Every structure is written in C-alpha cells, then in structure tokens.
C-alpha cells in the first residue's frame, strides 16, 4: 500500500457561532483520487479551505507528507506542493491567460522551468494557448475551469484539492474536465475531489467520503459506494 | 503676450502641477486598489517627503552641494526613508484594522494624517521653511514663454517614474501579483503569494512616489510647510477619481488632466487663480454625477 500523503485528524472549524466541521478524520494516500461528497452546506468546501490554510481550524490536526500544517500560512503550504483550486475558479479577471498562469508559478524562480510548465499546460489545454493574450474575464465557464486547473499545474502540485470542477458546466465539458483529472492523476498527482455530482466523482475515485452537516457519515471504496442503494438514493439524487 | 503664448505658458504650468498631482494620485489609487482604503494620510506623506528631503539635503549640501547631484541623491534617499515610513504606518495603524468595518480604518487614516502634520508642526513651530536649492535659472525660450531646465526636469522625472512604475506593474512577477491582489486576495494566497508582503510593497511604492512629489514641490516652490499636504491630498484624490480609482494609468491621466484643467481654468474670463480649487472640485462633483467610475475605471465583468 502507498504512503499516506494527507491525514486529517478530528478537524473542527467555526464560522463565528456556526460549527462548520464537527471533528472529521480521513486520509488520502499517495496516487489516489479521493472524492468528498455531500449536499450544499455539508462542509466540503470548508474542509478544503481548512486544508489549504485559507481558514484556521479551531481544533484537530492536518498532516501533509508527515508535516503538521494546521497552523502553516496558506502561501507557505503552496510551496510544499499542496494546491487548492477553489470553488468558483477564482481566476484573475482583467488579466490575460498568460499572466494568470505566470502567477500560478509565483513561487518559482527559474524562468526556463516556468516556460516548460506553461508549455505543458498549453499542451493539455490547447484552447488556452489560442487565447493566451486575451483577458481571462471573457472566457467561457469551461475555459475558466481549464485556466484554474492549468494555473494550479504551474506550481507542479503533488496533491491537488479540486472544489467542484464540474459546477455549471455542460455534460460534455464535465466529461472533458474529468478526463483531465484522470490524466493528472496518471502523471502522479494525488487528487482530493469535492463534488456535488457524486455519480461523476465516484466513477473516477478510488475512495469516497460523504459529509453531512460537518461530519463524515459514510466512508468506503468508490465501487462499494456506487453500488450501495441507500447512498445512491440519498446523495446521487436518483 | 499673444493668446498662443498664454496657452503655452499655461500648458507648461499645467504639466508641472499635473505631474505632482499624478505622482500623489498614484499612491492613492494603488492603496485603494488593493485594500479599498482611501488613505487620507497620503497627502501628509507627500509633506513628510519634502521635510525628510529638507533634512537630507541640508546634510548632503555640505558635501555635494544642492545642485542636480544633491537633489537627485536627496530624492532617492527620501523616497527610501519615507517609503519605509509608509510601510511602518501601514503595519502599526492599518494592518490591525483590516478586518474591522470599513469606516474604522477610514477614521484611522484621518487620525494618522493628524498625527503626521501635527508632529511636523510641533517641530517647525508652524513656520515655512525655505527649501534652498542651487539649480540655476537657465532655461529655454519657446516663443515668448520661458521654461527653466528645472521645470523641464521635474516633468521629465515624474514621467520617468510613472513609466518605471507601469513597467514594474506589467512586466515583473511582483507587479503582476500587486494587480492580482486587487482582484482576489484568497486566490493569491493559493498561488503562494504572501499577500501582506505585497500590500507592504504597494505602500512602499505609493509612499515613495508621494515623497518624490514632495521634494519636487519643495524644489519648484522653494518653500515647505506642515500643511502643504492637505490640499494636494484632496486634489490627488480628485485626480484619482477622475481617472478611475484603482486604475494606475487612470491616476496618471487624471493627475495631468486636473493640472491642465486648473491652469487653463484660471484663464477663463472672470475666473481668476483664486477660483482654481472651486474649478477642480466642481469637476469632481460633475464627474461623480455623470461618470462615477472615472475615465479609465472599469465596471465589473461577471460571467459564468
């Protein structure tokens, strides 16, 4: 069995008086795709935001490749190869595609390496190359998602946290994005995937966790979860 | 003097005035762009720039004189000193207020302004100080209009500073990070950008540009005063709004435009120089009514 890359231990967070995460624990192993499922407001995005350091957890621990990163600032976590592609993509509208990608490699000092990574991104997303000098505000939803993923790849991630990459996209675009997730995984990137679209997510994933009001209620390997009638009913919307 | 000469004279005056406005407006707009703070103390940092310059020049003049070399060294040193002061003010006064309601930080900025000009007033007894330079009075004649080399250099220096800033913001990674922070701070954190460091850098640059303008003003007018930052603060704010607050080219354009409008405005019959402030703020009011986003200000583009 491969090594544990991420370990969440009894993590709790609060937004003011709202108890958003009520002590969740789970692990992600190197090379896996792990799906974090659940309805709106279950705490999926909060979990990712706590891992990447955007919000401070109130108790519990986050360990990444053996280091405790619970109190590490977000910009230092990035340097360790843990990259979060946030909900809503958060690309830099008003800046060109190339500029967005360059900012993705902010921590990198080697210009030749920056160029090499950008070529790699353009190879995976040819559409971004075609529009490289355009303002990213004028991209379609799918293209924005591609840019957000491309930007995260500029950091050369080891672990990628993807928050609802399929949100608002047409089915054929969802397929395309998921193909890219698989490709990244094959290239050696471990992936923690947050999805409302459980069906799509479980098809890719090795493991799945279902969150409900800040707690993990179901865990198991993806195949079992897919076949479990009650889960399909409760979380796959069918 | 013919009408052409008058217009040419006003063009020269307007460009000088406008380049001071533009340099100060840049700091306003950059700080507003990244933390949405109207830094009311910004005009006082311009004033502080001229006083720090005054002190540095009085030391330097014993060694290298107060000619071009002296002024240039004074300017570089004061920009650095006042730039760090700007960062210090940001650390002490503004960082603790960033998560407080917007109004609190605005009032903090007013307080910083009062602390700065009252401190300088206490040290100078509220007197004007003579900003003595030795730049000579040579110049060129354009028709009947005489423009000194000092005036030409001041305009040239401000334009060079603006060009350097524009190159920095568009060509370097740190400059791009500054623009990105204005768009989305969380996304910047997720790119490994230390947001606080970039905010401090922005304060440094904005403040040192104001300091440069302060020294230029000292050189140009020949005297400095603790309250000199007040009106120019308001004017620079006007310039930033005219150009579109948050926009760097907007601040440059707004500053130059306001300077030109003011100096040409004084030539309108029945409107003398004493009306020039009324003229500027009248423009601000008209602009806020008809185009609140300013000339280069953008309306947000949202697309799913």
- What Cα–Cα distance (Å) separates residue B117 from each residue in A37, B42, B110, B238, B303? 58, 11, 11, 21, 46
Centroid of chain to Cα A1 = 23
**A237 vs B87: CA distance, rounded Å:** 53
What is the model's pTM? 0.90
| Chain A nearest C-alpha distance from B195 (Å) | 8
pLDDT tens per residue, range A127-157: 999 999 999 999 999 999 999 999 999 999 9
Mutate to test the interface with A, among B192, B247, B297 (most CBs of A within 10 A): B192
- What Cα–Cα distance (Å) separates residue A220 from each residue in A79, B78, B143? 31, 64, 87
Q: Which residues from A are below 8 Å from B303, CB to CB?
A: 137-141
- Residue A234 pLDDT exceeds 80: no
Q: Do A92 and B189 touch (CB under 8 A)?
A: no
Nearest to B180 among A74, A83, A103 (CB): A103
pLDDT tens per residue, range A151-174: 999 999 999 999 999 888 999 999
Q: Do B304 and A168 touch (CB under 8 A)?
A: yes
More confident residue, A13 or B146: A13
Is the CA virtual torsion B245, B251, B257, B260 positive or negative? positive
Centroid of chain to Cα A174 = 15
* Average pLDDT score over residue span B238-256: 92
Nearest to B183 among A92, A104, A168 (CB): A92
| Chain B nearest C-alpha distance from A18 (Å) | 19
Q: Which residues from B are below 8 Å from A76, CB to CB?
A: 192
pLDDT tens per residue, range A29-70: 999 999 999 888 889 999 999 999 999 999 999 999 999 999
| Chain A nearest C-alpha distance from B34 (Å) | 13
Report pLDDT for A117.
96
Q: Do B190 and A91 touch (CB under 8 A)?
A: no
Closest CA to A74 of B195, B198, B187, B189: B189
* Average pLDDT score over residue span B50-67: 92
Q: Do A54 and B195 touch (CB under 8 A)?
A: no
| Chain A nearest C-alpha distance from B179 (Å) | 8
Centroid of chain to Cα A47 = 11
Q: Do A52 and B190 touch (CB under 8 A)?
A: yes
Q: Is A190 on the interface with B (CB under 8 A)?
A: no
pLDDT confidence band for A1 (50 / 70 / 90): low
pLDDT tens per residue, range B175-220: 999 999 999 999 999 999 999 999 999 999 999 999 999 999 999 9
What are chain B's domains? 3-290 (1.10.3470)
Closest-CA residue of A relative to B181 is A92
| Chain B nearest C-alpha distance from A226 (Å) | 30
Reported ipTM: 0.91
**B261 vs B20: CA distance, rounded Å:** 14
Closest CA to B20 of B298, B182, B197, B229: B229
Name which of A221-235, B210-224, B279-293 the model is least confident about: A221-235
Mean pLDDT (chain A, rounded): 92
Q: Do A78 and B190 touch (CB under 8 A)?
A: yes
Report pLDDT for B9.
87
Pairing of strands A4-15, A18-29: antiparallel
Residues 6+ apart with CB under 8 A from A42: A211, A212, A213, A214
pLDDT confidence band for A237 (50 / 70 / 90): low
- Residue A236 pLDDT exceeds 60: no
Backbone torsions φ then ψ of A86, nearest 5 degrees: -75, 165
Q: Which residues from B are below 8 Å from A52, CB to CB?
A: 190
Percent of chain B with pLDDT over 70: 97
pLDDT tens per residue, range A71-98: 999 999 999 999 999 998 999 999 999 9
């Amino acid at each position: 069995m491969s090594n544990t890359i991420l370990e969440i231990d009894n993590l709790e967070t609060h937004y003011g008086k709202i108890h958003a995460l009520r002590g969740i624990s789970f692990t992600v192993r190197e090379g896996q795709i792990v799906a974090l499922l659940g309805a709106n407001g279950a705490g999926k995005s909060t979990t990712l935001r706590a891992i990447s350091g955007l919000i401070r957890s109130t108790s519990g621990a986050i360990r990444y490749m053996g280091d405790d990163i619970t109190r590490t600032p977000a910009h230092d976590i990035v340097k360790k190869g843990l990259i979060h592609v946030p909900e809503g993509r958060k690309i830099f509208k008003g800046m060109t595609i190339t500029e967005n990608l360059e900012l993705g490699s902010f921590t990198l000092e080697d210009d030749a390496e920056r160029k090499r990574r950008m070529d790699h991104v353009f190879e995976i997303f040819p559409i971004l190359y075609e529009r490289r000098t355009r303002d990213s505000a004028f991209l379609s939803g799918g293209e924005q998602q591609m840019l957000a993923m491309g930007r995260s790849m500029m950091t050369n991630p080891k672990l990628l946290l993807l928050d609802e990459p399929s949100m608002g996209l047409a089915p054929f675009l969802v397929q395309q994005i998921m193909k890219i997730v698989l490709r990244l995984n094959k290239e050696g990137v471990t992936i923690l995937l947050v999805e409302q679209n459980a069906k799509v997510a479980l098809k890719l994933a090795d493991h799945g966790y279902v969150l409900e009001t800040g707690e993990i209620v179901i865990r198991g390997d993806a195949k079992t979860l897919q076949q479990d009638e009650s889960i399909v009913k409760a979380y796959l919307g069918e | 003097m013919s009408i052409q000469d008058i217009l040419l004279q006003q063009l020269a005056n307007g460009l000088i005035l406008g380049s001071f406005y533009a340099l100060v407006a840049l700091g306003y707009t950059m700080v507003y762009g990244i933390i949405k703070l109207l830094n009311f103390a910004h005009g006082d940092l311009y004033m502080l720039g001229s006083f720090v310059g005054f002190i540095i020049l009085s030391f330097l003049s014993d060694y290298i004189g107060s000619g071009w070399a002296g002024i240039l060294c004074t300017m570089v040193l004061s920009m650095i000193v006042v730039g760090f002061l700007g960062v210090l003010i940001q650390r002490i006064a503004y960082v603790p207020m960033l998560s407080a309601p917007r109004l609190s930080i605005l009032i903090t900025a007013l307080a910083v302004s009062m602390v700065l000009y009252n401190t300088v007033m206490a040290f100078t007894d509220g007197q004007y100080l003579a900003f003595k330079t030795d730049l000579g009075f040579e110049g060129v004649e354009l028709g009947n209009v005489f423009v000194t080399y000092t005036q030409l250099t001041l305009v040239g220096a401000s334009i060079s500073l603006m060009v350097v800033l524009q190159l920095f913001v568009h060509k370097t990674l740190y400059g791009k990070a500054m623009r990105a922070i204005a768009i989305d701070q969380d996304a910047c954190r997720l790119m490994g950008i230390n947001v606080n460091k970039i905010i401090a850098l922005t304060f440094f640059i904005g403040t040192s540009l104001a300091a440069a303008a302060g020294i230029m003003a000292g050189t140009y007018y020949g005297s400095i005063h603790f309250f000199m930052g007040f009106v120019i603060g308001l004017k620079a704010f006007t310039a930033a709004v005219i150009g579109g607050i948050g926009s760097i080219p907007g601040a440059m354009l707004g500053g130059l435009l306001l300077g030109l409008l003011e100096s040409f405005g004084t030539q309108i019959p029945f409107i003398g120089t004493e009306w020039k402030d009324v003229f500027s703020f009248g423009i601000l009011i008209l602009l806020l009514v008809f185009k609140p986003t300013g000339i280069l200000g953008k309306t947000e583009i949202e697309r799913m």
